[in-house]
């Protein structure tokens, strides 16, 4: 007997970023030195005071189930953080702590989208949104943004994508994969359109602490009175505190939605790891110097990577304002031979770059933006330098 996979799960694509990382690891296992710019996680270790808090939590016996939606202390700390930094009033009953921001996004979509609903996704967009939306039976409406608009959704493009079935807009700010950041005015224009059309907005703010050039991040619900009622904000500790493996993220939503998501989570997964929750609490309540240090290091690397791309004739990228990615245009480098191999697409280009020069990036088509590639600068300066030396050689046919 063979077990048939359900129709809905058959349609799920594997994560292209993880697939590229796996390919890089495969080469590494064969003894090759790989310069890996495909990963979406800080290369720093989790700060010591956060690890210590987890050890203390274990010793203190916090090793049992917690409330399914998260420990009250962590929910309160999340509310205090958004109040202190953005002036937003959330009650702990509006917060659900989950197994990473990806789980929070899944919960948010699953709790709000019905089969047949449409959700607007500005592209280039992070790999998981469309797949998670499809899992709910809903339809992702991919809206292409333009490099000359720094890959930001314009009010015109947003309006044009709305149909009677549209229920949701997904805004990733700062963006993975493009590193673009919306200004307060830009968010306000989008918010007004959402209100006019009675849409809700899922604001993925996972990279909000990693913004550069002294920019002030604007949290989406702050731009218009009443917006909290039609927003679900997603955030977490993975990127800010170099805690990707601990799997703690959260969402903040109107109380009725948060309550239902808590029920959903209590049936699906129960609580996220108790020790990780205590670690996340220490992250939010402890010294924030570690965040400033990591951010400053990322900014240095961002400057370096932008300068290397600018120095390659025919290559371009809008300046990364946040997160740790640069999304660069490789259209001028397609339709050519590289070491006797014909390269037609962005996927071919990234695969040949990996094969021939041992530099791992991710093809733009994985983010619904063919003709581009994403490089992560969550890698040491040494790695970045060698990787870009090799990219330069590769495009020069050397």
Ligand X SMILES: Cc1ncc(COP(=O)(O)O)c(C=O)c1O
- 117, 94 contact by CB (below 8 A): no
Contacting residues for 84 by C-beta, under 8 A, at least 6 apart: none
Specify the residue, 70 or 100, whose C-beta has the smaller distance to ligand X. 100
Specify the residue, 247 or 357, whose C-beta has the smaller distance to ligand X. 247
Q: CA distances (Å), 26 to each of 23, 38, 205, 296, 355, in order?
A: 5, 14, 32, 32, 11
Specify the residue, 135 or 312, whose C-beta has the smaller distance to ligand X. 135
Specify the residue, 264 or 312, whose C-beta has the smaller distance to ligand X. 264
Question: Which among 100-108, 179-187, 288-296, 342-350 is the span making contact with ligand X, rule CB under 6 A?
Answer: 100-108
Specify the residue, 38 or 338, whose C-beta has the smaller distance to ligand X. 38
Can residue 132 be called a binding residue for ligand X (CB under 6 A)?
no
Distance between CA atoms of residues 69 and 263, nearest Å: 8
Specify the residue, 241 or 349, whose C-beta has the smaller distance to ligand X. 241
Can residue 126 be called a binding residue for ligand X (CB under 6 A)?
yes
Can residue 101 be called a binding residue for ligand X (CB under 6 A)?
yes
Can residue 140 be called a binding residue for ligand X (CB under 6 A)?
no
Distance between CA atoms of residues 275 and 74, nearest Å: 12
Can residue 102 be called a binding residue for ligand X (CB under 6 A)?
yes
Can residue 40 be called a binding residue for ligand X (CB under 6 A)?
yes
- Report in angstroms how near the CB of residue 102 gets to ligand X at its nearest: 3
Specify the residue, 338 or 377, whose C-beta has the smaller distance to ligand X. 377
Contacting residue, 145, 150, 173, 176, with ligand X by CB under 6 A: 176
| Total number of residues that touch ligand X (CB under 6 A) | 13
Specify the residue, 223 or 243, whose C-beta has the smaller distance to ligand X. 243
Contacting residue, 79, 111, 136, 206, with ligand X by CB under 6 A: 206
- 236, 207 contact by CB (below 8 A): no
Can residue 345 be called a binding residue for ligand X (CB under 6 A)?
no
Question: Which among 98-106, 158-166, 225-233, 305-313 is the span making contact with ligand X, rule CB under 6 A?
Answer: 98-106
Question: Which among 94-102, 184-192, 363-371, 384-392 is the span making contact with ligand X, rule CB under 6 A?
Answer: 94-102
Specify the residue, 315 or 373, whose C-beta has the smaller distance to ligand X. 373
Can residue 15 be called a binding residue for ligand X (CB under 6 A)?
no
Can residue 100 be called a binding residue for ligand X (CB under 6 A)?
yes
- Report in angstroms how near the CB of residue 131 gets to ligand X at its nearest: 13
Kindly write out the interface string for residues 228-247 of this chain, putting x where it contacts ligand X by CB under 6 A and - elsewhere. Answer: --------x-x-----x---
Which residues are near ligand X by CB under 6 A? 40, 100-102, 126, 172, 176, 204, 206, 236, 238, 244, 249
């Amino acid at each position: 007997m063979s077990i048939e996979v359900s129709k809905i799960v058959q349609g799920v694509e594997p994560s292209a970023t993880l697939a590229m990382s796996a390919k890089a690891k495969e080469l590494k296992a064969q003894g090759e030195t790989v310069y890996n710019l495909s990963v979406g996680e800080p290369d720093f270790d989790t700060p010591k005071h956060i690890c210590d808090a987890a050890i203390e939590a274990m010793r203190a016996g916090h090793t049992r189930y917690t409330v399914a939606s998260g420990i009250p202390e962590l929910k309160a700390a999340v509310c205090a953080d958004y109040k202190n930094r953005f002036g937003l009033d959330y009650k702990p009953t509006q917060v659900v702590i989950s197994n990473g921001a990806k789980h929070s996004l899944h919960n948010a979509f699953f709790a709000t989208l019905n089969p047949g609903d449409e959700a607007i996704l500005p592209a280039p967009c992070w790999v998981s949104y469309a797949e998670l939306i499809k899992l709910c039976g809903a339809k992702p409406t991919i809206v292409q943004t333009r490099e000359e608009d720094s890959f930001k959704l314009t009010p015109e493009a947003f309006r044009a994508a709305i149909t009677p079935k549209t229920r949701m807009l997904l805004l990733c700010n700062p963006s993975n994969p493009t590193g673009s950041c919306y200004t307060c005015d830009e968010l306000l224009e989008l918010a007004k359109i959402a209100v006019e059309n009675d849409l809700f907005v899922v604001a993925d703010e996972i990279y909000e602490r990693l913004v550069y050039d002294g920019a002030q991040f604007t949290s989406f619900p702050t731009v218009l009175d009443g917006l909290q009622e039609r927003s679900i904000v997603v955030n977490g500790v993975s990127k800010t505190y170099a805690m990707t493996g601990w799997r703690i993220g959260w969402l903040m939503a109107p109380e009725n939605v948060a309550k239902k998501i808590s029920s959903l989570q209590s049936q699906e997964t129960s609580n996220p790891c108790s020790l990780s929750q205590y670690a996340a609490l220490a992250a939010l309540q402890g010294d924030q110097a570690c965040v400033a240090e990591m951010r400053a290091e990322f900014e240095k690397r961002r400057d370096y990577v932008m300068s290397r791309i600018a120095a390659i004739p025919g290559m371009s990228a809008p300046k990364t304002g946040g997160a740790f990615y640069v999304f660069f245009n490789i259209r001028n480098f397609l339709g050519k031979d590289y070491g006797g191999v014909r390269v037609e697409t962005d996927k071919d280009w990234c695969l040949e770059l990996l094969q021939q020069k041992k530099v791992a990036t991710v093809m733009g088509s994985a983010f619904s933006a063919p003709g581009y590639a994403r490089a992560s600068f969550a890698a040491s300066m040494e790695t970045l330098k060698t990787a870009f030396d090799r990219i330069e050689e590769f495009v020069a046919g050397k």
